[in-house]
Amino acid sequence: MQVEYIIVGFGLAGMAISKELEDHGHSFVVLDNASQVSSRVAAGVFNPVILKRFTPVWNADEQLDNLFPFYKDISQRLGGEYLTFFDTLKVFKSVEDQNNWFMACDNPLLEKYMDPKIIKSEKQGITHYEGFGKVNGTGRVLVTNVLDDYIKYLKDKEQFLEIPFVHNDLEISDEFVTYKQIKATKVIFAEGYGLKENPFFNYLPLTGTKGEMLFIKAPDLQLTEQIKSSLFVLPVGEDIYWIGATFNWTDKTLNPTDNGRKELLEKLDTMIDVSYEVVDQFGGIRPTVKDRRPLVGKHPKHKNLIVFNGMGTRGVMIAPTVAKQLYHYLENNEPLSKEIDITRFE
Ligand SMILES: Cc1cc2nc3c(=O)[nH]c(=O)nc-3n(C[C@H](O)[C@H](O)[C@H](O)COP(=O)(O)OP(=O)(O)OC[C@H]3O[C@@H](n4cnc5c(N)ncnc54)[C@H](O)[C@@H]3O)c2cc1C
């Protein structure tokens, strides 16, 4: 098989660059071995406001401007619907929280997303607080659905192989690379936390942050919005709520833990006052980076090896925009912005 690109990894990053290449008529094949699950466990929420600090998400406007057409195109291509919208309500625990909210609403970067009106009404099943602040423009991508449908679509075109990429088996020359039976001009590594096993790029400061979450069933909790306090409580239908997430910088395993569950339940019990049953627990490793910016660019020595990683805690918003930049960098020689270019670590 001869293609222009081999893509290693098909999470949100691999999918975004696959779409860019396909949009521009380039040939590629994807290899994925399901060894990382960050995209598959992600709630898929997009929210332009960091609610811990009331600050805007990095490049939020541009990322949202790219996100909607990206999924509209994918829906047309695959025939499914992958976006849902809901309000996000930030819990105010004190009058000081309310004052900070008002101040943030005056920030020109935030005013279109943050509603200055405080919601005083109680929410059934939610512990009494000093009201809520509403963020507009939030929602979620049904990540597992879109990945599954996209994989099926690529498999039908013989562009997707469910196999591991073994880095030592890659033969590299100046003009092309050969991996087993595949000859290509470039390889794009979109391996998420799997980058740690990649001998070409594991010098990059990918830290990785494990996140665990729960599904609970709570019929008495009648929410239509996402509630955000020390955790998020997100309705996903049929009385099921997504509860998350933990942040653990030391444990790099994918399996759910008793400590993770304990932490989530302790926090949840301060947020809701109805009975519930835990129906599932799962986790994954977010590909986070020391300076919280993506890792994009060419290997310092082998220019046909490319990395596309570091989506961090916000792969849903970041991947479509950064994939676009990566495409124009590779095919049109446009420079990458300094904050995402891996040369910042050379
Ligand atoms: C608990 C949790 C909740 C989250 N919630 C959100 C959220 O609500 N909103 C949001 O925007 N982000 C969220 N994130 C972050 C988001 O999931 C990540 O930013 C994003 O998924 C990273 O995508 P990726 O494609 O880089 O990595 P991954 O999704 O990990 O994909 C990497 C792929 O590469 C494959 N791979 C790796 N090595 C190899 C190899 N050698 N050979 C073949 N294949 C290989 C893996 O199998 C995998 O499929 C969350 C993450 C976690 C863990």
CA of 281 to the centre of ligand 1 (A): 17
What pLDDT, on the 0 to 100 scale, is given for residue 315?
Answer: 98
Q: Is 297 left (phi over 0), alpha (psi -120 to 50) or beta?
A: left
What pLDDT, on the 0 to 100 scale, is given for residue 317?
Answer: 97
What pLDDT, on the 0 to 100 scale, is given for residue 44?
Answer: 97
What is the 3-state secondary structure of 254-267? Answer: CCCCHHHHHHHHHH
Most ligand 1 atoms within 8 A of CB, residue of 6, 19, 36, 251 to mutate: 36
Q: Same structural domain for residues 249 and 195?
A: no
The response to whether residue 297 sits with its C-beta less than 6 Å from ligand 1 reads no
In this structure, what CATH number is given to the domain that contains residue 262?
3.30.9.10
What pLDDT, on the 0 to 100 scale, is given for residue 124?
Answer: 87
Which protein residue has the closest C-alpha to ligand 1 atom 6? 42
Q: Same structural domain for residues 336 and 216?
A: no
Give the mean pLDDT per block of 10 residues along the chain (346 residues): 98 98 98 97 96 92 96 97 96 92 93 93 87 94 98 98 98 96 98 98 97 97 94 96 97 96 97 96 97 97 97 98 98 98 96
Number of domains in the chain: 2
Q: Same structural domain for residues 125 and 223?
A: yes
The response to whether residue 13 sits with its C-beta less than 6 Å from ligand 1 reads yes
Return phi, psi of residue 131, to 5°: 95, -175
Residue where the block lists tokens 């000093």: 130
Which protein residue has the closest C-alpha to ligand 1 atom 12? 314
CA Rg, the chain, in Å? 21
The response to whether residue 208 sits with its C-beta less than 6 Å from ligand 1 reads no
Which protein residue has the closest C-alpha to ligand 1 atom 15? 313
Residue 110 lies in a domain: yes
CA of 301 to the centre of ligand 1 (A): 27
Most ligand 1 atoms within 8 A of CB, residue of 6, 19, 38 to mutate: 38
Q: Same structural domain for residues 164 and 268?
A: no
What pLDDT, on the 0 to 100 scale, is given for residue 191?
Answer: 98
Domain boundary, last residue among 286, 303, 335: 286
Domain region containing 319: 2-47+143-205+290-345
The response to whether residue 264 sits with its C-beta less than 6 Å from ligand 1 reads no
Q: Which of 1, 33, 326, 323 is nearest to 159 (CA)?
A: 1
Most ligand 1 atoms within 8 A of CB, residue of 160, 286, 293 to mutate: 286
The response to whether residue 294 sits with its C-beta less than 6 Å from ligand 1 reads no
